[in-house]
A and B are shown apart, each in its own frame.
Chain A
């Protein structure tokens, strides 16, 4: 039995010894689990803000935070004290109710995802931290949609034109990228045969990143867009619309919006680890499952930070084209290809994901097919790009500098 479960069981025994009713003990345990889960998410948020600033600093040849504590590790606490003592400014003409509820809803929606994330195996005493939900994947999508509503409330309630612009962009981006994200989730559900996240981890005899290489990439890209992080941070493009939907927020309200964003990004990393990287599994010390899960999640988050440090922001037309003309068609083809190929492998070779003996040959065959599809897609894209460039050059050719500038 792992240490986490035994602590929980002894606590339950302690409560039972106090002579409390069963339903009351259940309620206390649920509230405790919820509080632990929420606190872990908040601590992860604090750690991630520090990590991001440090890593981005290094990428940009700076040191990042250094003063607060050793290597700046206390910086998030300093930030917290600062934001909590600043004045909350509610702008003139703001619609107060959505303006105030917006950040709270955003943070709640971002946190709510963690209720179904499996941090460790179910050892017969119930799930480790959250709960086992048989429609887990659907729940994640639904809660993600609540985050969009929060952004609309925040932006629309601010009575600010930049905020409204940011809101429109946010809605366009978030609903668009929900489509490839959903299609990649469908592919996972297809191979796993379930929507329950714990079972999806257990069925991965071979980590799904191999058989679903393309799907994993589509999920990560659309996840970055869903979290509104760079390079898809159009909803808060600083150089165009100042800060987008949260322009009018100050003090803790701003911190809540920021928190929602980071926790959403962290939730995306956690879901990525669950779906594609075999969740809590690790070659040694299986008792420390949650630790390994968090290590993997921080690893995936580092990739998101790397994106942010490397790529410039998309233009809005590029962003929409990237989704509707690239990600969506590719993921539709991907779903069909995976469906057919998996059926062929199961029927003809007898290899399948659920059989531990044949999982690896199955996974590698699928991986090869993924690579082939990637080569084809990139070939088509490259050709289309070259043709577009030739057309553009054709337009410019023969036009003198004077004609182009009007001088």
Chain B
């Protein structure tokens, strides 16, 4: 057995089964009587107008961009964190400089007003 990822594979398979079996049971047990009005889109009783999948507020996109900066940071920070107890002082200082540089990006976005919900 290839622990640990073998077990994780088995576990995810079991989790999918645990999630889909009630759904299948529901499909078997419950009635199926769809009609025109029942399968309308529910938007508080008002008939839906136009396309749902439209272009949307750009603000969300800016947050996603800032998130990417910090997500890349994750790749570098975690290995450093695990080795933290063994690395010399230089490694510590280097990582602090790295974090400060990243924080700099956040401060820039802040000063530009990108963190303000408009």
Binding site for B on A (CB under 8 A): 23, 26-27, 30-31, 33-35, 37-39, 42, 83-93, 103-104, 107-108, 111-112, 114-116, 126, 130-134, 137-139, 141, 156, 158-162, 164, 168, 171-172, 175-176, 178-179, 182-183, 186-187, 189-191, 193-195, 242, 247-248, 251-253, 255-256, 259, 316-317, 320-321, 324-325, 328-329, 332, 335-336, 339-340, 343, 354
Known: A107-B19, A172-B63. A179 touches B70 (CB 8 A): yes
Q: For chain B, what secondary structure do more than half of its interface residues adopt (helix, strand, loop), or is it mixed?
A: helix
Contact with A along B16-47 (1 / 0, CB 8 A): 10111011011101111110001111111000
- Give B19 Cβ to nearest chain A Cβ, in Å: 4
Q: How many residues of B contact A (CB 8 A)?
A: 69
A to B contact number (C-beta, < 8 Å) = 223
- Interface positions, chain B 64-118, Cβ under 8 Å from A, are 64, 66-67, 70-71, 74, 77-78, 81-86, 89, 92, 95-96, 99-100, 102-103, 106, 110, 115-117
- Give B89 Cβ to nearest chain A Cβ, in Å: 7
- Give A42 Cβ to nearest chain B Cβ, in Å: 7
A186 touches B81 (CB 8 A): yes
A138 touches B78 (CB 8 A): yes
CA gap between A112 and B18 in the complex, in Å: 11
B67 / chain A contacts, CB cutoff of 8 Å:
175-176, 178-179
Q: Which of A35, A38, A195, A256 contacts B78 (CB 8 A)?
A: A195
> Who on chain B is nearest to A137 by CB?
B78
A328 touches B117 (CB 8 A): no
CA gap between A248 and B39 in the complex, in Å: 9
Q: What are 7 A-B contacts with C-beta separation under 8 Å? A: A85-B26, A91-B40, A92-B40, A103-B23, A132-B4, A133-B4, A171-B64
A320 touches B63 (CB 8 A): yes
CA gap between A27 and B14 in the complex, in Å: 12
- Give A151 Cβ to nearest chain B Cβ, in Å: 14
Known: A107-B19, A176-B63. A131 touches B78 (CB 8 A): no
B78 / chain A contacts, CB cutoff of 8 Å:
137-138, 186, 189, 195
